[in-house]
Chains A and B, each alone.
Chain A
Amino acid sequence: MATAATIAEREHYLNKEYGIRSWLLTTDHKRIALLYLVSITFFFFIGGFFALLIRLELLTPAGDLVQADTYNKLFTMHGMVMIFFFLIPSIPAVLGNFLVPMMIGAKDLAFPRINLLSWYLYIISGIMMLHCIVTGGVDTGWTFYTPFSTAFANTKVIEAGLSIFVAGFSSILTGLNFVVTIHRMRAPGMTWSRLPLFIWAHYATSIIQLLGTPVLAVTLVLVVCERLLGLGIFDPNRGGDPLLFQHLFWFYSHPAVYIMILPSMGVVAEIVPCFSRKRIFGYHAVALSSIAIAVFGFLVWAHHMFVAGISLYSAMIFSILSYLVAVPSAIKVFNWTATMYKGSITFSTPMLYAFGFIGLFTMGGLTGLFLACLGIDVHVTDTYFVVAHFHYIMVGGAVMGYLGGMHFWWPKISGRLYPEWLGKFAALIVFLGFNLTFFPQFILGYLGMPRRYWQYPPEFQVLNVMSTAGSTILAVGYVLPMVYFLWSMRYGKIADENPWGAAGLEWKTASPPPTFNFEETPEVTWEAYNYDQIPAPAEVLVEQ
């Protein structure tokens, strides 16, 4: 067993330089990943705090904990912070940043300085958002629907809009960096069909970031101009059409859901083969389904608008297209499950998160079929059914994948192991807390409780109490990993190069990796997920 002393002797990306400057001016993708990790964790807990206040308010039918305006600001800022400052950057900017160059055998991303710039843009927009929050907040809902946001809300719409505009550019630059890196920086022998599925998922994600985000940006510019100058582009009193805003907004914001979920799918596609000791089932199907999701994801946006006043015919087109995007998602679930068949499965913490992801994403995806279905959508849209559905995808799916990935690659990032039993315990708590929080909301939705309600009829109370109870359990489940990750940085067992016996180039370099990732440029001569050639670690075997 290596001691703490030996790890300090070897130079790696963490101990190469010290001091604030060495972090704030770094162009090392691994250090930038850690900068992102710290910043998104901060925003995750801010957004989570808002969520807890929302759940506490909804404990009773009356609006008694906070004022109506405060409540409206809480759910607005919960949405904005969680979506733009946690979920969208979460896996790409932290794990993607850390792993994309390593997985393809590169020394860094193609544009290290642009990578740093994108973190600074994120921080600038984050500071704008924080400033907006502490100086009064915004109450339009994260969706900025016009004409409420342009002509009626008297909160800080402009500042919030500009903040998200800047965050959008951060996201675009990250995506651009990934696409160029994946095209240009692959090590010799790393052909497209040898790429890890994590890379495929990030490639698909980046396409969405590149082609979707600018539409949101320009839409927000128009909203800001309209609010400042009263142009009338989205104002029906001046001949504008508020539905045009919704079209442009959802053109980005529906695919944005795939920005959040695709990277998680990539993580799961790494974890499941590793802890099944098997090559992934249907490599090409899983890889291409990522691309299919990215493309089809752009064809379905108006399923958010079935009752908004779009034409009947348009609604039918968007409904049928929405079902198309469900197919590649289903393909992925089937393939992950099939990967376990005849495997040799260990129940490590990352694998538990992967199980959780498969279960919750399946439920989130299947309830998506309800919402794509015109006849049902009319009743359940804008109710808690939708709230439950997208939390199953974004929290049950995306956050589960993020946590699974963090546990899986934590030994690589920090060079330390976290306490396995605590990891499993936290995974269990998250799973239980999540279901208790959000499952009752499906029922609430079908009963007809509209979303964004500060007070509600008393017959909805029991289900709301269950949901609030679940949210406190969920909160514990989220704090735990942060605590033991921090603890493990000093006291955790030293991790060797490849503690899970995982395939992939990132496991062929030291933990933590040296600054340029590899001592010498690797040459790839094997297929991805070659688990028949990698011995499983003995330690894990004993545990079973």
Chain B
Amino acid sequence: MSEHVLSSKLYYAIWIVLMVLTVVTAWVATIDLGPFNTVVALLIASSKALLVILFFMHVKYTSEKLTKMVIVSSIFWLLILLFLSLSDYGTRHLGHG
């Protein structure tokens, strides 16, 4: 846990970036990028999430490795669920049902 108090300017800066990214993601969705629309939308969402985690949730300023480990492993577990499910759904059309 961070003891030290962050400057409020930093919070406002992050807030502005988040607002801009929100408008950008809504706007970019109206442009046809083919399959990259989804990629861009998820990249922007992930950057926003990362900003919130690192700054608003103080993870960047904590000396505690454990917090980071908890975050990384829960995301890892989510990916296990998604990817191993896809190993079924992604290969069903190959036949041999």
Q: In the complex, are there CB atoms of A and B closer than 8 Å?
A: yes
Interface string of A217-259 (1 = CB under 8 A from B): 0000000000000000000000000011001000100000000
Contacts of A313 in B (CB 8 A): 87, 91, 94, 96
Q: Bound complex: CA of A310 vs CA of B87, how far in Å? A: 9
Chain B residues with Cβ below 8 Å from A298 are 77, 80
Given A311-B94, A312-B96, A313-B94, CB of A215 within 8 Å of CB of B81: yes
In the complex, which of the residues B81, B96, B97 has the most CB atoms of chain A within 10 Å of its own CB atom?
B81
A314 within 8 A of B: yes
A127 lies within 8 A of chain B by Cβ? no
Chain A min CB distance to B84 (Å): 7
A309 within 8 A of B: yes
Tell me whether B92 is interfacial, beta carbon within 8 Å.
yes
Task: Contacts A243-B88, A302-B88 given; indicate if A311 touches B96 (C-beta within 8 A).
Answer: yes
Cβ-defined partner of B85 (8 Å) among A211, A247, A299, A312: A247
Of all chain A residues, which has the CB nearest B86? A314
In whole angstroms, what is the CA distance A215 to B84 when docked?
14
Quick one: which of B66, B80, B84 has the most chain A CB within 10 A? B84
Expressed in whole angstroms, the Cα–Cα distance for A211 and B73 within the complex equals: 9
How extensive is the interface on chain A, given as a class?
Answer: 10 to 19
Q: Measured between alpha carbons, how far is A183 from B64 in the docked complex, in Å? A: 12
The verdict on A330 contacting chain B, using a C-beta distance below 8 Å, is no
Q: Which residues from 7 to 38 on chain B have a C-beta closer than 8 Å to any C-beta of chain A? A: none
CB neighbours of B88 from chain A (8 A): 243, 247, 302, 310-311, 314
Given A215-B81, A298-B80, A309-B97, is A314 in contact with B66 using a C-beta cutoff of 8 Å?
Answer: no
Please name the residue on chain A nearest to B96 by beta carbon.
A312
A211 CA to B81 CA, complexed, in Å: 11
B84 contacts A302, C-beta separation under 8 Å: yes
Whether B87 contacts A299 by the Cβ 8 Å rule is: no
A317 at the interface (CB under 8 A from B): yes
Known: A183-B66, A211-B74, A298-B77. A317 touches B97 (CB 8 A): no
Chosen A-B contacts, 7 in total, with CB atoms closer than 8 Å, are: A211-B73, A247-B88, A298-B77, A299-B84, A302-B84, A313-B96, A317-B87
B-side residues, CB < 8 A to A, are 66, 73-74, 77, 80-81, 84-85, 87-89, 91-92, 94, 96-97
